[in-house]
Structure 1
C-alpha cells in the first residue's frame, strides 16, 4: 500500500460541521485531533453544542436555513451531519456560497438532486461519505476493477450490538430516521445486467462469519452511485444490511402487517422508546465479487470487523468511528488535492489504498482479503 502524507499542505482549513449529535461530535473530535482544521460546529441543541465546545472548537446555535448560511459562508468545506431530509437544502446553500460539501446521506433522491446541483458547481459536492453508502462503495469498486469480466458483486454491511438482547437483537446505533428510510425505500441493484430496483426487506440470506450467524436483506441507499458506474460491466450487483437472525421478520410485521411504513413518525417513537441505544457495537463489512481473470473463474472477498475505541479520552462507538472516518477521509483527500476539486464526486473516485493509508481511514485497517479460484 502506498503511504501518503497525513497532514494537509498549506494553512489550516476553516470547516463547518452541521449537526452536533453522535456522528457530528465524532467528526469534530477526529478533526480537532488532526490539527489541520479550524472547526465550527453548528446545531440547534444547546446541550449538544456544549458537549462539542469541550473539544476546544467554536460553536454556533442554528435552527434554520439563515443560520446554516451564516455558518457556511467563507468556509473551505461543510460536513453535513443533519438528518437526510436537510441534505439538498444545505448542498444548495453551499453551491451559492462556493463551499465544498460533504454528507452522510443514504437517501437516493437526495443524492440525485445533489448531483444535479453539481453540474455547474465550482466546488466539490460529495454526498454519501459514511460507511454504507461510502466505504462499502470504495471496497466494491476496488473488487470490481480486478476482473476482466465481472459476474457478481455483493456488498453487505451491518452496525450491530456486540451483546444483542430481545427478539430484534438490535440496538439503536445511529439515526432512527435514516434507519427507517432505508427499510422503506426501493433499493437500487443490477439484475441480469440491467439496472433495476428491488424491494427493501426482501432477498433474505443467511451466512456465518467467524462462527457468528447473521442474516442480510435488501435495504435502500447502500450502493451509492455504483449501479451507474458498473452499468454494463456486471451481471449482478446488490447491497444488503446485516442483522442477527430474526430481525427481518419482525420488521416486516411492523412495517407491513401493522402498516407502520405509513406512519413513520409513530414507528420512530416506538423504536426509540423500546430499543436502547448502545456504544458497545460492532461494524461488520463483507463483500464478495466473482468473475473471470486470466481465463479462470475467480472469487475475491473483503471482510472487516470494527469495534469502538477511545480517542483523546472519549469513547467512540464502532458506528461513530467508521462513519466519521469516512467523511473526514473524503475531506482530507480533497484538501490534499488527491480528488477532483469541483463538481460531483462519487465514492468510486477514492482509491481503496488511498483511503486506508489516510490518517482517518486507518480506522478500517485490519481487513481480511481472500481469493478462491475455480477451474
Structure 2
C-alpha cells in the first residue's frame, strides 16, 4: 500500500482524501495548517491519518513527506514552490492543482535532475481540459483553432455577478488579473485578462467566456509550431465579465487583490449546488478535410458514498487522483516533468476517477 500525503484539507483536499481512502489501496496522510480542517477531512476514512503542518515550515513539511510515495498539493498556489522543493529532497512524486503560471514554471525548473515525477496542473483546468483538448486535436494534420472553455458556476444564480464562491478566492482573483498565455498565429503570446469576450448557448443556457490566466497549462507551448491558435477562457453567465472589469479596472482592485478577496468572501455566498461546464472545440484538417469537433460536458454537484460533494470538488479531485493512479500503474513517466498533454485521453477516461467526467 503506497503512502500519499495530501497537503491542504480544504474543499479539494477533502475530496481527494475521500476518493483515495475509499480505494483501500492507498495509505493517506492529510495535513493542514488548521487542525479542524484535517480532522474533518479524515473523519471516518479508512487508512487515513492527519496532522497540523505549517506550509511555510520546511522541517514540518519534511516530516509530513517522510516515507511518502507521492504528495498532492491542494495548498494555496503560493505554497507550492516550497512543497515541491521538499518533495524533491524527500524523493517523493509531486502533483499539484495550481493554475498559476509563475509557480508552475518554478516547479518545472525544480524537476530538472529529479529522480521522481513532477506533475503540476493536474486538476480540472489545467488538467482534464488539457487532456481532452489535446485528444480532439491529435488526429488533425493541421490545427487551425483549439479552444478550451471551463466554468464552475452556481446552478441557481441570484446576484448581479451571477456567481457564487466554489473554490479558492485567491486563485479566482489571480486568474482574473494575470496575463493569459495563448498561441496566436503560431506564437506564444500574452493576452490581457477579461478580454476577447464571446457568448454561446449550450442546451438552451446562455454563457459568456473571456480570457483568464493559467487554464491553458503548457498546452500552448507544446503545440507551438503545430497549431495556429490555442486559447483558454473562463465560462460565466452573461454580464459577469462587465462587472469584474468595473471592480478590477474602474475601482482599481487589480492593485488591491487581497482587499478584493476580502470583499468577495464577505459579500458573495458559497454554494453547494454548483455545476462544472467544459467545452473543447478543435478546428483543422483531418483526413484531407476541414472539420470542427466539439466536446461539451456538464458535471453537477452530486452525492457520493452518502455525502454531498460539489462539482468543483468532484472534477478537480478526480483529475489529480486519476493522474496518481496512472503514475502508480506505469502509464505515465515516473521521472521529471510530466505535462497533461503527455497523458493519453483513453487512459484517463478509463480510470475509475477519470470516469467522473464521463457524463
TM-score with structure 2 length normalisation?
A: 0.98
**2: CA distance between counterparts of 1:182 and 1:352?**
26
Partner of 2:327: 334
Alignment partner of 1:152 is 2:137: no
Match of 2:134 among 117, 134, 141: 141
Partner of 2:356: 363
Give the C-alpha shift of residue 204 in structure 1: 0.3
Matches within 5 A, 1:158-173: 158-173=151-166
Alignment partner of 1:17 is 2:17: no
Partner of 2:52: 61
Give the SS at the match of 1:171.
coil
**1: CA distance between counterparts of 2:288 and 2:187?**
24
Alignment partner of 1:47 is 2:40: no
Give the SS at the match of 1:121.
coil
**2: CA distance between counterparts of 1:208 and 1:260?**
31
Do the aligned partners of 2:182 and 2:229 also contact (CA within 8 Å) in 1?
Answer: yes
Give the C-alpha shift of residue 296 in structure 1: 1.1
Alignment partner of 1:222 is 2:215: yes
**2: CA distance between counterparts of 1:14 and 1:78?**
9
Partner of 2:105: 112
**1: CA distance between counterparts of 2:42 and 2:175?**
32
Match of 2:63 among 70, 81, 87: 70
TM-score with structure 1 length normalisation?
A: 0.94
Alignment partner of 1:123 is 2:116: yes
Partner of 1:26: 15
- The size of the alignment, in residue pairs, is 355
Matches within 5 A, 1:199-348: 199-348=192-341
**2: CA distance between counterparts of 1:122 and 1:314?**
38
Partner of 2:82: 89
Gaps of 5+ in 2: none
Give the C-alpha shift of residue 313 in structure 1: 2.0
**1: CA distance between counterparts of 2:150 and 2:205?**
14
Match of 2:185 among 188, 192, 205: 192
Partner of 1:5: none
Moved over 4 A (4+): none
For residues 14-56 of structure 1, what are the alpha-carbon distances to aligned partners after superposition, in whole Å with 9 as ceiling and x for unaligned?
0100001111000000001111100010011111122123133
Do the aligned partners of 1:29 and 1:55 also contact (CA within 8 Å) in 2?
Answer: no
**2: CA distance between counterparts of 1:208 and 1:130?**
25
Give the C-alpha shift of residue 227 in structure 1: 1.1
**2: CA distance between counterparts of 1:119 and 1:49?**
32
Give the SS at the match of 2:112.
helix
**2: CA distance between counterparts of 1:181 and 1:267?**
11
Gaps of 5+ in 1: 1-11, 367-375
**2: CA distance between counterparts of 1:294 and 1:75?**
47
**2: CA distance between counterparts of 1:138 and 1:65?**
33
**2: CA distance between counterparts of 1:305 and 1:55?**
30
Give the C-alpha shift of residue 293 in structure 1: 1.4
Root-mean-square deviation over aligned CA pairs: 0.8
**1: CA distance between counterparts of 2:201 and 2:207?**
6
**2: CA distance between counterparts of 1:65 and 1:314?**
35
Give the C-alpha shift of residue 137 in structure 1: 0.4
